[in-house]
Structure 1
Amino acid sequence: MSKVLEQLVKLLDLKAIETNVFVGNSQDLGFKSLFGGQVLGQALVAASRTVEAERPIHSLHGYFLRAGKPNEPIYYEVDLIRSGKSFSTRRVVAKQGGLAIFSMSASFHAIEKGFEHQVEKPSVPGPDGILSELEQFRKVRDKVPEPIREKLNADRPIEIRVVDPVDYFDPHKRPPLKYSWFKASGKLPDDTLTHTAMLAYASDFGLATTAMLPHGVTFFNPRVQVASLDHAMWFHRPARMDEWLLYVKDSPSAAGGRGFNRGQIFDKNGILVASVAQESLIRGIDPPSPQDSMKGLVT
């Protein structure tokens, strides 16, 4: 296991500090605020630690309430809403500095047999021969703004290979649909919760930016503000994060300063393992007027 992957596994392994309260560290990925996938994965672990292992999580619904700080620990308070004969419900509030930054409801279900069907996996090229996102960034290293250059070019615990990547600095308008393969950068332990939490963590990569594709902009555009507002996820079948998974993302709508994005995650054999839905802030920022640019300069 690589050092960065080992660090991520450790990051998702929360410490209990009192009954139903857990604490986790944060990581700085070079974004302006805390990466939402980290909070998702850690909140999932916190909720799961209060439920018996025979009831894995089947769905979560979370809201990002405040921008988290990547250099401060996060405290997760779990409320045991209900434990029934086959379902358990938990509510998690993540806090920094005493303020809630994220809230989540999660449902757990005892494993049982039932009806089975699924949509077919799209026919797209496999991961072999496709450059990773990290390799793509390193090809344009000199164009990446200095403040985030080191972070974006650092080794990563999750390898992502986009089937039809966008030119970050010269994007063109295209339909709001993209495909990417992803997996952990090394072998993971045979622990179901580790794989599930890491799947939730990785599900936030590249989802919000799907709504940007029809508008020919990327997150490098200083006049566009993008941030995750909420995140819902359904876990249909077990998945291993150290094997290739296909993430199919589309955006049916953008309106009112918000973009709606959906995702389907398949394993390499075509089994649908999870579905995702997220609404994100996607806001155009007008350049300052000459009068605004002079504010603060007049004494």
Structure 2
Amino acid sequence: MREVTRKLVELLDLSPIGDDHFQGESEDLGFPHVFGGQVLGQALMAASRTVENRLCHSLHAYFLRPGNHSMPIDYEVQRVRDGGTFAVRRVIARQDGKELLTGSMSFQVAESGLDHQLTMPEAPDPESLKSEQDWGKLIAEKVPEHLRDLLTRDRPIEIRPVNPMNPFKPEKRPPHRQNWFRAMGPLPDDPVLHQCLLTYASDFTFLGTSLNPHGRTFMSKGMQVASLDHAIWFHRDFRMDDWLLYDKDSPSASGGRGFNRGNFFTQDGVLVASTTQEALIRERLG
């Protein structure tokens, strides 16, 4: 396991601070605030620590406030229900006494049943593509110095974009994006960790899908962008140290909000998770 990946695994390994209360550190990715995927991943880990012999099958969360990456985050888990098959948890993330995120997670005992899925869309092989870090190095000399580390830093999750776009010179495109994702280095055989890592990674490159038709990115002047909510459904087993295709589209944008959908597929075409997110995409004029 690479050092950057080990640090991410440790970031998700929360410390218990009381009955059904946990605390996690924050990381600085070069964004103004805590990365939303970090809070989502840690919230799922906190809830999972209170459930036995069941894995999460769905997660629904709202982002309430931006987080400060220089402070730890406290997670309170509320045990809503423990049934014979399903268990439901509510999680509240707080920092300095203020709520950052509230979410609900449902867990299920493994069982068999009817089975079908969408066909995996066409996509180039990940080994034929450059990583986001590689693309960042190609344009690093042309961007302001304070942004170079954001583009070129080592990353625990390798992202290889299909048909990448220069974030500083965007062009109008259809509301569709594809990226291959993989953790850097082998991971332990812990399905909860793999779910939390996918949750963490699912917030990368997501809201930008709704900006494609407008020729904007989160780097565009005058754009205020932020994740408002996030949902994930886990369908089948997977590993985050194997390549996963993240196929995304945006059916609608209106009222300063962009709606995004995504599906994660293994290289051999198995649909393992689905996501949705609504994001603030406000353009400040003048």
Give the TM-score taking structure 2 as reference length.
0.98
Partner in structure 2 of residue 275 of structure 1: 274
Question: Per-residue deviation at 1:183?
Answer: 0.4
Unpaired segments ≥5 residues, structure 1: 288-299
Gaps of 5+ in 2: none
Q: Which residue of 1 aligns with 2:41?
A: 41
| Deviation digits for residues 208-251 of structure 1 (CA, Å, limit 9, x no counterpart) | 11000000111111211110000000000111000000000000
Deviation, 1:30, is 0.7
SS in 1 for 2:285: coil
In the alignment, the residues of structure 1 paired with residue 272 and residue 94 of structure 2 have an alpha-carbon distance, to the nearest angstrom, of 30
- 1:66-215 equivalences under 5 Å are 66-215=65-214
Among the aligned pairs, what percent are the same residue? 54
- Give the secondary structure class of the aligned counterpart of 2:128: coil
Paired residue type of 1:259: G
What is the distance in 1 between the residues matched to 2:147 and 2:12?
A: 24
Match of 1:32 in 2: 32
Q: Is the 8 A contact 1:31 1:148 kept in 2?
A: no
Counterpart residue type for residue 24 of structure 2: G
Q: CA deviation at 1:153?
A: 1.6
Detail structure 1 runs of 4+ shifted over 3 Å in the superposition: none
Matched to 1:171, the amino acid is: P
Q: Distance in 2 between matches of 1:128 and 1:61?
A: 33
Q: Over alpha carbons, which structure has the higher Rg?
A: 1
How far did 1:145 drift? Answer: 2.9
Using the alignment, how far apart are the partners of 2:58 and 2:27 within structure 1? 25
Deviation at 1:148, TM superposition (A): 3.0
Shift of 1:140: 0.7
Is 2:219 the counterpart of 1:220?
A: yes
Residues 76, 92 of structure 1: 8 Å contact kept:
yes
Rounded Cα–Cα distance in structure 1 between residues aligned with 2:170 and 2:96: 39
Instruction: Give the drift of 1:146.
Output: 2.8
Q: Secondary structure at the match of 1:140?
A: helix
- Give runs of aligned pairs for residues 227-242 of structure 1, distance below 5 A: 227-242=226-241
For residue 286 of structure 1, give the secondary structure of its aligned residue in structure 2.
coil
Letter in 2 for 1:159: E
Distance in 2 between the 1:125 and 1:180 partners?
A: 10
Q: Aligned partners of 1:152, 1:32: CA distance in 2, in Å? A: 15
Q: Secondary structure at the match of 1:38?
A: helix
Report deviation, 1:154: 1.0
The answer on whether the counterparts of 1:235 and 1:273 sit within 8 Å (CA) in structure 2 is: yes
Deviation at 1:170, TM superposition (A): 1.8
Distance across 2 between alignment mates of 1:92 and 1:222:
35
Letter in 1 for 2:38: Q
Q: Is the 8 A contact 1:29 1:152 kept in 2?
A: no
Mapped contact 1:76–1:93 kept (Cα < 8 A): yes
**Is residue 251 of structure 2 the alignment partner of residue 252 of structure 1?**
yes
- The 2-side partners of 1:135 and 1:175 are apart by 24
1:169 to partner: Cα distance: 2.1
